Chain A
Amino acid sequence: MTIFIIYKVFLCSVILILSLLVAMYSTLIERKVAAFLQDRIGPDRAGPFGLLQPLADGIKLFFKEEFMPNTADKFLYILGPSLTMLIALLTSAVIPWSIPVIIGGKIYPLQVADINIGILYIFAIVSMGVYGIMIGGWASNNKYALLGAVRASSQMISYELAMGLSIISLAMMTGSLSLKDIVEQQQGFHWNIFYQPLAFLIFLVCAFAETNRSPFDLPECETELVGGYHTEYSSMKLGFYLFAEYVNMFVSGAIMATLFFGGYHFPFVDKLGLSNNTLAVVGFFILFTKITFFGFLFMWIRWTLPRFRFDQLMRLGWKALIPLAILNILITGIVILVR
């Protein structure tokens, strides 16, 4: 039992450090991608190709003065960003990163928790993300922050519905909510994307809305709301809000890769004849490549599409995505039963 706990603590720490590192470097890659799309060079002063830029940004945020408006609710003002970060780091617990590693006859699964309601766990944690933003926006007692927070919560809960509905058709096919089972069923090239393209499309749009990424970044829409819910934040509290967005991006990319793109599986795996542990490492890099692709997609769309208006956002969420997801459930049901 003690070894079990120690192993889990180790695995959690590794995943935590990995997601933070990825989040840090996503900020650099985001700026590089933006520069590439706009025919600029991007940050290149700190280290070779600007590789030390995220480090410089992080250290800067640490040394900044902690500002708090005198009318703010002090406890909630600190709780807001902490909660956002905490929740962003919790989601990765159920993602299977690769096949189990076998060392000295013992099996070490590369998944923190293999629970049978993995998808429901993700939804539960993601829906708690609303609190971090709402608490932060309300506590700073700023009108822009409040408007941003209200918009954010409204948008996140609306798109959660379509997200939940789009996964139902997947659950009908796989008969399981455990992410491990879902990945195992996609062995080789039987990826769910080929059977559920519509569900994936709905899930992708909702993932953009849930992470508050452009074209759904109305909560922090700088042209009308200054900085949205984090207008009054500075130092690492602001850093937490910004980092949490990138951690969420990373995790939602991992979830999409796991649910629809076969997770750590790749075609022609049997023909290579690799040993178990090598396969685990290769599988992890395969999953990581898929996540990187989604990360690039998030950035590509951010620098390509303009922002929605709030009524358009709500109309898309309620009047287009929800009926579409229900239609998808019906079609999936009929196809499964007829076959």
Chain B
Amino acid sequence: MDKTFVPADYIPILVQFAVAFGFVLITMTLTHIIGGKRKKIHTIRKEENFECGIEVKGNARFPFSVQYFLIAILFVLFDVEIIFFYPWAINFKSTGWNGFFEMLLFLGFLMFGFYYIIQKGAFKWD
């Protein structure tokens, strides 16, 4: 790569963020101003949560299946490991077989953990 990269490269991303943010803000304000004012009627029945027409039972902030939390935790672990791959992949051609075997070792540990969580039944849904 003959080009040098400087932090100033990220200024356009800030510009994009500003433009996108402006669009979202304007649209949200606009729909708030022009959106059906005439019919703003507040009644208890209307503002209830939708539950297929039957009486609302309790709150929706209840504990749900632990499986989802497990997936989230595993994601954090694996995502960090995947990020470790990237510098290796970029420099792959210069590290050669040496780098390949070293990564194989890392991959071996990762796959062992992966096998372990599968055998533990982390992805068994019932």
Task: Give the number of residues in A that approach B within 8 Å (Cβ atoms).
Answer: 81
In the complex the two chains form, is B36's CB within 8 Å of A63's CB?
yes
Contacts of A71 in B (CB 8 A): 49, 59
In the complex the two chains form, is A62's CB within 8 Å of B100's CB?
no
Contacts of A150 in B (CB 8 A): 64, 68
In the complex, B121 has a CB within 8 A of chain A:
no
Contacts of A231 in B (CB 8 A): 50
In the complex the two chains form, is A13's CB within 8 Å of B60's CB?
no
In the complex the two chains form, is A12's CB within 8 Å of B82's CB?
no
Could you pull out 5 A-B pairs where Cβ atoms are within 8 angstroms? A64-B36, A65-B35, A71-B49, A146-B61, A176-B90
Task: Determine the distance from Cα of A23 to Cα of B83 in the docked complex, in whole angstroms.
Answer: 32
Contacts of A70 in B (CB 8 A): 44, 47-48
Q: Distance in Å from the Cβ of A209 to the closest Cβ of chain B?
A: 13
A9-B15, A85-B24, A154-B71 given; A177·B86 CB < 8 A: yes
1/0 contact trace for A312-339 toward B, CB 8 Å?
A: 0011001100110010011001101100
In the complex the two chains form, is A333's CB within 8 Å of B92's CB?
yes
Among candidates A90, A175, A226, residue contacting B93 with C-beta atoms closer than 8 Å: A175
Contacts of A205 in B (CB 8 A): none
A141-B59, A141-B61 given; A115·B28 CB < 8 A: no
- Give 19 A-B pairs besides A65-B39, A330-B104 with Cβ atoms closer than 8 angstroms: A63-B36, A86-B20, A112-B16, A113-B12, A115-B9, A142-B49, A144-B51, A146-B61, A154-B71, A165-B82, A168-B85, A168-B86, A171-B92, A176-B1, A231-B50, A236-B28, A318-B123, A337-B97, A337-B100
In the complex, B111 has a CB within 8 A of chain A:
yes
In the complex the two chains form, is B10's CB within 8 Å of A113's CB?
yes
Which residue of B is nearest A5, CB measured?
A: B15
Among candidates A138, A146, A158, A329, residue contacting B71 with C-beta atoms closer than 8 Å: A158
Task: Determine the distance from Cα of A145 to Cα of B51 in the docked complex, in whole angstroms.
Answer: 10
1/0 contact trace for A43-64 toward B, CB 8 Å?
A: 0000000000000000001111
In the complex the two chains form, is A311's CB within 8 Å of B86's CB?
no
Q: Distance in Å from the Cβ of B17 to the closest Cβ of chain A?
A: 6
In the complex, B109 has a CB within 8 A of chain A:
no
In the complex the two chains form, is A161's CB within 8 Å of B12's CB?
no
In the complex the two chains form, is A226's CB within 8 Å of B9's CB?
no
Contacts of B93 in A (CB 8 A): 172, 175, 336
In the complex, A110 has a CB within 8 A of chain B:
no
In the complex, A195 has a CB within 8 A of chain B:
no
In the complex the two chains form, is A90's CB within 8 Å of B20's CB?
yes
In the complex the two chains form, is B19's CB within 8 Å of A160's CB?
no
Q: Is the interface of A mostly helix, strand, loop or mixed?
A: helix
Which residue of B is nearest A156, CB measured?
A: B75
Contacts of A12 in B (CB 8 A): 12, 15-16, 19-20
In the complex the two chains form, is A164's CB within 8 Å of B82's CB?
yes
In the complex, A302 has a CB within 8 A of chain B:
no
Which of A's residues lie within 8 Å of B, judged by CB?
5, 8-9, 12-13, 16, 61-71, 78, 82, 85-86, 89-90, 92-93, 112-116, 120-121, 138, 140-147, 150, 153-154, 157-158, 160-161, 164-165, 168-169, 171-172, 175-177, 181, 226, 231-232, 235-237, 239-240, 310-311, 314-315, 318-319, 322-323, 326, 329-330, 333-334, 336-337
In the complex the two chains form, is B16's CB within 8 Å of A314's CB?
no
A12-B15, A311-B125 given; A226·B52 CB < 8 A: yes
Contacts of A226 in B (CB 8 A): 50, 52
Task: Determine the distance from Cα of A164 to Cα of B79 in the docked complex, in whole angstroms.
Answer: 8
In the complex the two chains form, is A154's CB within 8 Å of B72's CB?
yes
In the complex, B78 has a CB within 8 A of chain A:
yes
Contacts of A67 in B (CB 8 A): 46-47
Q: Distance in Å from the Cβ of A155 to the closest Cβ of chain B?
A: 9
Among candidates A113, A158, A326, residue contacting B13 with C-beta atoms closer than 8 Å: A113
Considering the complex, which residues of chain B in the window 37-81 have a beta carbon less than 8 Å from any beta carbon of chain A? Answer: 39-40, 44, 46-52, 59-62, 64, 68, 71-72, 75, 78-79
Contacts of B89 in A (CB 8 A): 168-169, 171-172, 329
Considering the complex, which residues of chain B in the window 106-126 have a beta carbon less than 8 Å from any beta carbon of chain A? Answer: 107, 111, 114, 118, 123, 125-126
